[in-house]
């Protein structure tokens, strides 16, 4: 029966697709995006930024699988160095705590021993990615306890540097987060992904405080002003998450060069008191570089301009 029914459109020339004349006789032109002006400075800046981002992706590709491990190791290297320094200078540390900080005998020993155990244990767990939440919590407590114990909590340079170290530890914590949801029935809860976004935002904002500390200390010169101006722009881009990967890579280069030439503790005599301060600053800067490497590897997270650009 189906062979007797023809449901095809008539092929004769008399067939009119619009018998009532309701359609527009002129064909509508295809949509064309407005051509970009190559002389526009914003367009040039966008092209340069895209090229830099491409170069970062290309040259970091061989290191990309190893960036998380390198970043985690560099973040905890300051704690490892601090633990080794306490052990090798045990008598001097006790003398300082008892003489200048008025720690009673026994409490000073317990204070140093607790710091060494927590720093070594937390650093080992961070490197091996085991029980990261407990490792980060322990290392955070060391940062706070040492600030009060050594009386450096109100020192601006110490405060800014340790804010950056805390930012690096938060980046470690966010890197270890999974997408599982944890919570109690009947109670509002945040998924691990949502919490990860907030930790990444807090971590990347805190990371830039080391560079701010670099800007407010030392003597000013034209080269220092130029580097500070460019670095401040990169810090702002990291904070808001705009082109965050190559901005973080740029800060890694700047801080690494600064660290080698300014905090060169190996060139100072072992008996010089400035040697320990330079060594402390050197390894703390390495920790912030590790946090920035994790940022290069993970990206800025959901609460960032880069992520919003992907949506809109």
Element (H, E) at 125: helix 107-128
Q: What local confidence, expressed as pLDDT, does residue 184 receive?
A: 42
Could you tell me how far CA 194 lies from the centroid of its own chain?
17
Q: Which residue, among 72, 76, 129, 136, has the nearest Cα to 293 in the 3D structure?
A: 72
Read off the tokens for 53.
């981002």
Q: What is the DSSP letter of 20?
A: T
Q: What local confidence, expressed as pLDDT, does residue 9 receive?
A: 45
pTM reported for the whole predicted model: 0.75
d(CA 172, CA 290): 9
Backbone φ and ψ of 191, nearest 5°: -70, 165
Cα torsion for 45, 225, 156, 71, to the nearest 10°?
Answer: 50
Q: What local confidence, expressed as pLDDT, does residue 49 receive?
A: 67
Those residues whose C-beta lies under 8 Å from the C-beta of residue 242, and which sit 6 or more positions away, are 304, 305, 306
Cβ of 196: how many Cβ atoms within 10 Å?
21
d(CA 101, CA 274): 21
Q: What local confidence, expressed as pLDDT, does residue 88 receive?
A: 92
> Which position has the token pair 């690096």?
168
End-to-end C-alpha distance for the chain, whole angstroms? 54
Distances (CA, A) of 174 to 16, 39, 198, 269: 65, 41, 9, 40
Q: What local confidence, expressed as pLDDT, does residue 111 receive?
A: 95
Q: What local confidence, expressed as pLDDT, does residue 232 receive?
A: 83
Cα atoms found within 13 Å of the Cα of residue 132, Cβ hemisphere only: 16
Q: Which residue, among 211, 224, 293, has the nearest Cα to 252 in the 3D structure?
A: 293
Q: Residues in the chain with pLDDT < 70?
A: 1-42, 45, 49, 52-53, 56, 60, 178-194, 214-219, 309-312
Q: What local confidence, expressed as pLDDT, does residue 16 receive?
A: 53
Q: What local confidence, expressed as pLDDT, does residue 56 receive?
A: 65
d(CA 61, CA 72): 18
The 10 Å CB-count burial string (b at 16+, else e) for 104-140 is eeeebbebbeebbebbbbbbebbbeeeebeebbebbb
Q: What local confidence, expressed as pLDDT, does residue 263 receive?
A: 86
Those residues whose C-beta lies under 8 Å from the C-beta of residue 212, and which sit 6 or more positions away, are 160, 235
Backbone φ and ψ of 63, nearest 5°: -90, -15
Q: What local confidence, expressed as pLDDT, does residue 311 receive?
A: 60
């Amino acid at each position: 029966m189906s062979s007797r029914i023809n449901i095809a459109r008539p092929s004769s020339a008399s067939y009119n697709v619009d018998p009532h004349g309701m359609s527009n006789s002129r064909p509508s032109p295809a949509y064309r995006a407005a051509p970009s002006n190559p002389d526009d400075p914003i367009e040039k800046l966008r092209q340069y930024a895209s090229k830099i981002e491409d170069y970062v992706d290309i040259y970091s590709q061989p290191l990309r699988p190893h960036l998380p491990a390198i970043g985690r190791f560099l973040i905890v290297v300051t704690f490892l160095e601090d633990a080794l320094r306490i052990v090798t200078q045990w008598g001097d540390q006790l003398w300082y705590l008892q003489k200048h900080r008025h720690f009673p005998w026994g409490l000073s020993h317990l204070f140093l021993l607790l710091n060494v155990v927590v720093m070594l244990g937390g650093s080992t767990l961070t490197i091996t990615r085991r029980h990261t939440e407990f490792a980060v919590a322990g290392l955070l407590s060391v940062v706070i306890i040492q600030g009060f114990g050594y009386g450096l909590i109100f020192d601006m340079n110490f405060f800014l540097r340790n804010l950056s170290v805390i930012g690096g530890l938060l980046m470690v914590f966010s890197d270890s987060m999974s997408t599982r949801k944890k919570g109690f029935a009947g109670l509002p809860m945040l998924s691990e992904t949502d919490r990860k976004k907030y930790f990444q935002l807090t971590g990347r904002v805190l990371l830039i405080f080391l560079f701010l500390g670099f800007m407010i200390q030392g003597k000013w010169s034209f080269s220092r002003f130029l580097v500070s101006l460019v670095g401040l722009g990169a810090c702002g881009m990291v904070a808001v998450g705009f082109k965050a990967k190559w901005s973080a890579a740029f800060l890694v280069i700047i801080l690494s060069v600064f660290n080698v030439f300014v905090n060169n503790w190996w060139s100072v005599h072992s008996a010089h008191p400035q040697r320990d301060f330079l060594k402390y600053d050197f390894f703390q800067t390495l920790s912030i570089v590790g946090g920035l490497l994790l940022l290069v590897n993970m990206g800025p997270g959901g609460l960032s301009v880069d992520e919003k650009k992907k949506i809109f």
